[in-house]
Amino acid sequence: MTRKFNYKELGLSNTREMFKKANEEGYAVPAFNFNNMEQMQAIVEACAEMGSPVILQVSKGASNYIGLEMVPFLGEAAVSYARAKGSDIPVALHLDHGPDLATIKDCIDHGFSSVMIDGSHYDYEDNVKYTKEAVEYAHKFDVTVEGELGVLAGIEDDVEAEEHVYTKPEEVEDFVSKTGVDSLAIAIGTSHGAHKFKPGDDPKLRLDVLADVEKKIPGFPIVLHGSSAVPAKFVKMINENGGKIADAIGIPNDQLRGATKSAVAKINVDTDGRLAFTAGIRKVFAENPSEFDPRKYLGPAKKLMKDYYKEKIQDIFGSEGAYKKAEVR
Ligand SMILES: O=C(CO)COP(=O)(O)O
Ligand SMILES: O=C[C@H](O)COP(=O)(O)O
Ligand SMILES: [Zn+2]
Ligand SMILES: [Zn+2]
């Protein structure tokens, strides 16, 4: 028998108050993806030490990899770690890119506090319909819902889009009111993965589209996906230690800084954590090929990821000190 939970029993929070405070105080909440315990630790340690609220993000693929039955306990572990270190940061456990209602129900029943319904690959009317169904189910349990309008270029859940389909500002008000979503992901030129622009491209976001969206739904929490910076230092470390990642280009920090000042309440980062983690492991293996104690290679990987996320909270999110900081030993 599978034990089922409401997220509140696990000490988790939904995103409602997080986003309200973030928009009032002018910062964005970091939403970092994880696939294993060490990445989860890197995220919660970084955020607890910075006093930053955090959204622990799990894709369907990550949930399959970890096992849905185990995921909520990693969320609970993150909360109990933060509290033990004296931090009161709220922690949300969020389903990233929920593909359908069945997955969303399953995650909510297992203890997720927030979900995304990604209807962006359907036509507008179907997107509204599926998103509304997800909201109706989630709100019964006080779980918050993120919807999406516009399509990011690149690969998303094995679906490849050739071109950016920027969000149409004239649709957002209607979408938000018809569906009842709590936040809205929009497409302004970001994309998933490590290859967001081609060499020679001008890596610019459509901040004008963001500004137009904001005018239509003032103060409503906006979400940006595909926002990794793809730091050259990690790509270099990977390539110097036996890896092969070519032409990796991310979103420049100054472009994102422009976005966080606005109503952007949540920014998604996955690729940067993957790169930092991989760089850490590769370096240990390259320098010490006889190493086989997982603590010796996962430990440095975790530390690189954690330190990078602390930097990123200061440089981009602006969420440092929003809550009580953990005591660092
Ligand atoms: O949007 C994301 C997760 O939903 C992650 O984007 P990146 O691939 O840029 O990290
Ligand atoms: O947006 C996608 C996230 O980066 C997760 O990707 P994934 O489906 O490979 O886990
Ligand atoms: Zn999408
Ligand atoms: Zn995404």
Q: What is the pLDDT of residue 158?
A: 64
Q: How confident is the model at residue 159 (pLDDT cuts 50, 70, 90)?
A: low
Output the DSSP codes for 257-322: HHHHTTTEEEEEE-HHHHHHHHHHHHHHHHH-TT---HHHHHHHHHHHHHHHHHHHIIIII--TTS
**ipTM of this complex > 0.90?**
yes
Tell me the average pLDDT across 54-75.
98
Does residue 263 surpass a pLDDT of 90?
Answer: no
Q: What is the pLDDT of residue 2?
A: 64
Q: What is the pLDDT of residue 175?
A: 98
Q: What is the DSSP letter of 328?
A: P
Among 97, 116, 190, 278, the mutation site with the greatest number of ligand 2 atoms within 8 A of its Cβ is 97
Strands 29-33 vs 264-269: parallel, antiparallel or unpaired: parallel
Strands 154-156 vs 159-161: parallel, antiparallel or unpaired: antiparallel
Binding site members: 97, 118, 148, 192-193, 225-228, 268-271
Tell me the average pLDDT across 51-70.
98
Does residue 1 surpass a pLDDT of 60?
Answer: no
Q: What is the pLDDT of residue 153?
A: 80
SS3 of residue 92 by DSSP: strand
Tell me the average pLDDT across 232-258.
95
Q: Which atom of ligand 2 is nearest to the CA of 59?
A: 10
Q: Which atom of ligand 1 is nearest to the CA of 225?
A: 1
Residue 55 near residue 143 (C-beta atoms within 8 A): no
Percentage of residues in the chain having pLDDT higher than 90: 90
Distance from the alpha carbon of residue 285 to the mean position of ligand 4, in angstroms: 30
Tens-digit pLDDT profile for residues 163-198: 789 999 999 999 999 999 999 999 999 999 999 999
Among all residues, which ones are annotated catalytic?
96
Instruction: Tell me the C-alpha distance between 202 and 168, whole Å.
Output: 22
Closest CA to 173 of 113, 214, 204: 214
Output the DSSP codes for 109-163: HHT-SEEEE--TTS-HHHHHHHHHHHHHHHHTTT-EEEEEESB-BEEETTEEESS
Closest CA to 245 of 255, 228, 231, 261: 231
Q: What is the pLDDT of residue 314?
A: 96
Min mean pLDDT across 52-56, 149-153, 249-253 is at 149-153
**Domain boundaries of the chain, sorted by first residue:** 10-317
Distance from the alpha carbon of residue 268 to the mean position of ligand 3, in angstroms: 12
Class of domain 10-317: alpha beta
- 168 Cβ neighbours under 8 A, 6+ residues apart: 149, 150
Does residue 7 surpass a pLDDT of 60?
Answer: yes
Min mean pLDDT across 151-155, 249-253, 286-290, 301-305 is at 151-155
Tell me the average pLDDT across 208-228.
97
Binding site members for dihydroxyacetone phosphate: 193, 226-228, 268-271
- 61 Cβ neighbours under 8 A, 6+ residues apart: 157
Q: What is the pLDDT of residue 65?
A: 98
Instruction: Tell me the C-alpha distance between 31 and 29, whole Å.
Output: 6
Rounded to the nearest integer, the mean pLDDT of the chain is 95
